[in-house]
Amino acid sequence: MGRQYVIVGLGSFGVRVLEKLSEATDQIIIIDKDKAIIEKYKDLASKSFIADALNKQALSRIIPEAIDVAIVDVGDNIEVAVIVTNALKKIGAGKIIVRAETEERGEILEIVGATMIVYPAKEAATKIVPMLVSSSLFSFMAISPSLVLAEIRAPERYVGSTLVEANFRQSKGINVVAIRKEEGDEYEYFDPRYRLLADDVMLCAGSEKDVTAFTGVRITARKNVIGEMLRGIFGKPRPIGDKVEPVKIE
């Protein structure tokens, strides 16, 4: 089984992530207290629940322990966001991505357990979905329609090779700009004779297509293509077959 995801709250950001993420995987749980919203989007998820996010007992029953990724969009209610984020941390969620309106609120959410803060923006969902479906992609930023910058963990098959030997530019269309350690935050320029290590993170530049292909982002659960997954965030969602009916949790 691949990564599992839960989206708590189907605000505008939560819906955008759901629409894009559903093109790459069907391992998605959605939770919202509004029955109409759950009914509208239940076909994009494997499981859907009508529940109040403030009900910690309900969340603990619905969400599998140590779920890989949790996305939280409960609107601008910081109190609810704090409680849900902390509950997800206690459940053991690997990544907790929370929408926040301001940097001040984002700082509070990080204190209680958020691992990534997303501030409302038109392209937010498109930027983070590649990171969610690739364990080797740390960050992803579109510089222009034809160029993206990304932080990419050194692929295992290239560990021990020099960048000259790896020849990413010719073989993958990727240019390595600098290298840092996974546990560090300072990038350093590299000697072409430097041999890649397992904990190296490369700052790379290339086209969206080349970068996503290099990091293993691919459509596996839909008849679609990478470009369609990443193009826009308001596209019409596609039905994904028979799904479990939404369950109301008191």
Alpha-carbon torsion, ordered 214, 216, 217, 222, to 10 deg = 130
Residue with tokens 């509004």: 34
Residue with tokens 């923006």: 121
What residues contact residue 185 under an 8 Å CB cut-off, 6+ apart? none
Architecture of the CATH domain 137-216: 2-Layer Sandwich (3.30)
Crossing angle between the packed helical segments 124-132 and 12-21, to the nearest 10 degrees: 40
**Structural contact between residues 68 and 4, judged by C-beta atoms closer than 8 angstroms:** yes
Q: What 8-state DSSP symbol labels residue 230? A: H
CB atoms within 10 A of CB 106: 19
Whole-angstrom distance, CA of residue 95 vs CA of residue 108: 16
- The pLDDT, as a whole number, for residue 129 is 61
Distance from chain centroid for Cα 160: 29
Closest of 226, 246, 250 to residue 23, by C-alpha: 226
CB atoms within 10 A of CB 85: 27
- The pTM assigned to this predicted structure is 0.59
- The pLDDT, as a whole number, for residue 188 is 86
Superfamily classification of domain 5-123+233-248: NAD(P)-binding Rossmann-like Domain (3.40.50.720)
Give the pairing of strands 28-32 and 47-50: parallel
Tokens of 125: 């969902």
Whole-angstrom distance, CA of residue 177 vs CA of residue 54: 45
Give the pairing of strands 5-8 and 47-50: unpaired
Q: Which residues pair with 47 in a beta bridge?
A: 29
- The pLDDT, as a whole number, for residue 220 is 38
Tokens of 160: 């021990």
pLDDT (tens place) for every residue of the chain, 250 residues total: 678 999 999 998 999 899 989 988 989 999 999 999 999 999 999 999 999 988 989 999 999 988 999 999 998 889 999 999 999 999 999 999 999 988 889 999 999 999 999 887 545 565 666 656 566 677 777 777 788 888 888 888 899 999 899 999 999 999 998 999 988 878 888 888 899 999 999 998 999 888 888 877 553 333 333 344 334 333 344 443 445 566 666 6
End-to-end CA distance of the chain: 29
Domain definitions of the chain by residue range: 5-123+233-248, 137-216
Complete DSSP assignment for 16-40: HHHHHHTTT-S-EEEEES-HHHHHH
- The pLDDT, as a whole number, for residue 120 is 72
Q: Is 35 exposed, middle or buried (0-12, 13-18, 19+ CB in 10 A)?
A: exposed
Whole-angstrom distance, CA of residue 28 vs CA of residue 5: 5
Q: How many helices (H) and strands (E) does the chain have?
A: 10, 11
